[in-house]
Structures are given as structure tokens and as C-alpha cells.
Amino acid sequence: MKRVAEGAQTDGEPSAGVESRRKKSKKKKKERLGRVIHAVGDYLIVRCDRRINIGRVMRSTVIAKGKKKVGKVHDVFGPVAQPYVSVRMSETGKRRIPKLLGNKLYFLRKIG
């Protein structure tokens, strides 16, 4: 007779009360957003280098070089070919305004 440890699997099925503790991975891809051209209050104005998909960009997290979070996309406006994006800055982003002006920003988009 075999002894089965409590919580062990038998016949390929998990025992009662044991849940899968695997976390769902939220993979995100870094994509170029554009250059910071101006800071207004709590917002950064970014000039995009190319056309962007507004659905992918809206409310996405914006990061600077080195994966430091700057804020979230608030609005997209201007010409379709090279739109402008307003980014609402986080507290850490507000402290870094002088370093951000003129530099490139990236946004994280979900994969899958």
C-alpha cells in the first residue's frame, strides 16, 4: 500500500483544496513614444516621431531610459502623421523634469 502525502497529486489530478499558485504573467513590450518638448504643470508634452495607434497608447505607462516610470498617457492630439501626447507625471516624474526635457520616452504595451 502506498502512502500519499497530504496535498500531493494522484492520477494527474490536483487534490481537493490545492490551488494553482502560478501567477499570470503580464508581459509588456517597450515601444518608442517620442521626445519631450515641454512641461506644463503636472503634464509633459511629447512629440511623436511617427503615427501611433491611439488604442494601444491611451492610459499606458510611460517610462524613460533605464525603465524609470514617468507617468501615464493622458491624451493624444494634433496631426495624425506626428501627433502630440500629454503624459500625466507621477511623483517621481515630477522630480526629474529637467532631465526629461528633450529626451526620448517609451510606453509599455501589453502583449497578447
Query: What structural domains and CATH numbers belong to the chain?
Result: 28-110 (2.40.10.230)
Q: Cα–Cα–Cα angle for 88, 109, 62, nearest 5°?
A: 25
Lowest-confidence segment of 1-5, 27-31, 88-92 by average pLDDT:
1-5
Mean pLDDT over residues 75-86, rounded? 95
Three-state DSSP state, 26: coil
User: Sign of the C-alpha dihedral, residues 94, 96, 98, 101?
Assistant: negative
Query: Could you read off the pLDDT of 53-64 as tens digits, one per residue?
Result: 898 899 999 999
> Which residues on adjacent β-strands are paired with residue 7?
none
pTM for this predicted structure: 0.72
User: Sign of the C-alpha dihedral, residues 10, 15, 18, 23?
Assistant: positive
